[in-house]
């Protein structure tokens, strides 16, 4: 069984669909705690460390053989927890793929709080494989307000417009898992990477090796 720690209910359907496509029959145990993201945004990811660890331990105790944290803002806190089963940060495989793809990486983020964790992650992956990269950031103005209001169509369209206008990059990285479908709404000459599918595949491997 693979447990998932979400900070938005919107991710449940996304990862159910990925399960059906990538690992039919795999049992998923999603937990949604929107308050974790709200508190992490207000006081920093470290402020939710104890609650994240409690959620991961509960997932382990329920029988999960691995846990996937789908929130980029709290991903580093979740990944650092030691709870007896692998904890996969959804955006790490995406960061590794970005570093392998090109040296000029443009990060698009809907939340400013995700920028530092994503930059740090890319730096870690670049150092791990000895590659020199330059990462730059664009905050997609107004996008998160649309997401918060439930306007998913407007949210994705706003992000797609910024993807289309992005230049001088070898690869574009979408910092939030919720941004993934925006890549399907436009066409650009460079790869656009998002975290859900890559992160899910890594979590499935972790769950199935225990």
Sheet holding 2-6, edge to edge: 28-32, 2-6, 66-69, 87-89
pLDDT given for residue 147 in this prediction: 94
Domain co-membership, 147 together with 79:
no
Domain co-membership, 96 together with 172:
yes
pLDDT given for residue 200 in this prediction: 98
pLDDT given for residue 209 in this prediction: 81
Domain co-membership, 181 together with 131:
yes
Nearest to 50 by CA among 32, 64, 36: 36
pLDDT given for residue 210 in this prediction: 62
Tell me the mean pLDDT per 10 residues along the chain, length 210: 96 96 96 96 94 97 97 94 96 98 97 92 96 96 95 97 96 96 96 97 91
Domain co-membership, 124 together with 35:
no
User: What is the pTM assigned to this prediction?
Assistant: 0.93
Domain co-membership, 110 together with 161:
yes
Domain co-membership, 133 together with 177:
yes
Give how many domains the chain has, as a whole number: 2
User: Domain range for residue 75?
Assistant: 2-90+197-208
Domain co-membership, 8 together with 73:
yes
pLDDT given for residue 113 in this prediction: 87
* CATH number of the CATH domain containing 38: 3.40.50.1860
């Amino acid at each position: 069984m693979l447990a998932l720690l979400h900070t938005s209910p919107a991710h449940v359907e996304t990862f159910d669909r990925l399960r059906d496509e990538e690992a039919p029959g795999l049992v998923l145990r999603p937990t949604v705690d929107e308050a974790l993201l709200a508190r992490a945004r207000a006081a920093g990811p470290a402020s939710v460390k104890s609650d994240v660890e409690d959620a991961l331990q509960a997932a382990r105790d329920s029988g999960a053989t691995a846990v996937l944290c789908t929130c980029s803002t709290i991903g580093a806190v979740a990944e650092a927890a030691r709870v007896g089963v692998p904890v996969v940060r959804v955006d790490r495989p995406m960061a590794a793929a970005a570093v392998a793809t090109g040296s000029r990486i443009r990060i698009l983020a809907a939340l400013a709080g995700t920028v530092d964790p994503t930059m740090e992650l890319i730096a870690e992956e670049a150092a791990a494989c000895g590659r020199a990269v330059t990462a730059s950031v664009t905050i997609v103005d107004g996008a998160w307000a649309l997401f918060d209001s439930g306007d998913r169509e407007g949210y994705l369209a706003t992000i797609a417009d910024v993807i289309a206008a992005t230049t001088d990059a070898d690869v574009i990285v979408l910092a939030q898992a919720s941004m993934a479908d925006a890549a399907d709404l436009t066409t650009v000459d460079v790869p656009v990477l998002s975290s859900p599918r890559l992160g899910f595949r890594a979590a499935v491997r972790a769950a199935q090796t225990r």
